[in-house]
A = this chain, B = another copy of it.
Amino acid sequence: MPAATPSTKCFTISQLARELNISTRSIRYYEEKGLISPQRTRGNQRVYNRRDRARLKLILRGKRFGYNLNEIAEMIGLTDVNMGETEQIKKSLEYGEKKLSEIRDRITELEKLAQEMNTIKGKLQQRLKDIANGSVP
């Protein structure tokens, strides 16, 4: 067998913070809330692997859609925690299903919003033309 763990790249907290463009404080705060649990060095410093990094990205994505940290916690509760009893898994699946349809709703809603803004855009452009001609306001 060759050397071990070929896919265990690690990051420090500030590396991740820089990469994800957030503060270290935020990352620690997410940990406080139980959203991530990185390993530690002997010296007690946090070490993040790519799974942790992926999870952070997931958290940030959730945030961008207006979910708060509690909701996100529930949402990603279905990734690797729980993973114990069949019942838990089933519940997670159920929850995930709910969230998925919620997301689909959001997508259609966003499309509606885009449409709405397009309408407004059209009106503004029309108005611009009107002004260019001389139709009084």
Contact = CB atoms under 8 A, between A and B. Distances in A.
Interface stretch (A3-11, A30-38, A41-49, A57-65): A57-65
Q: What secondary structure prevails in chain A residues at the interface with B?
A: helix
Given A99-B117, A107-B111, A124 B66 contact: no
Taking residues whose C-beta sits less than 8 angstroms from the other chain, chain A's interface range is 35 or more
B114 A110 contact: no
A114 B100 contact: yes
B110 A96 contact: no
A104 to B, nearest CB: 7
A84 to B, nearest CB: 7
A125 interface: yes
A86 interface: yes
Interface of A: 58, 61-67, 78-79, 83-84, 86, 89-90, 92-93, 96-97, 99-100, 103-104, 106-107, 109-114, 116-118, 120-121, 124-125, 127-128, 131, 137
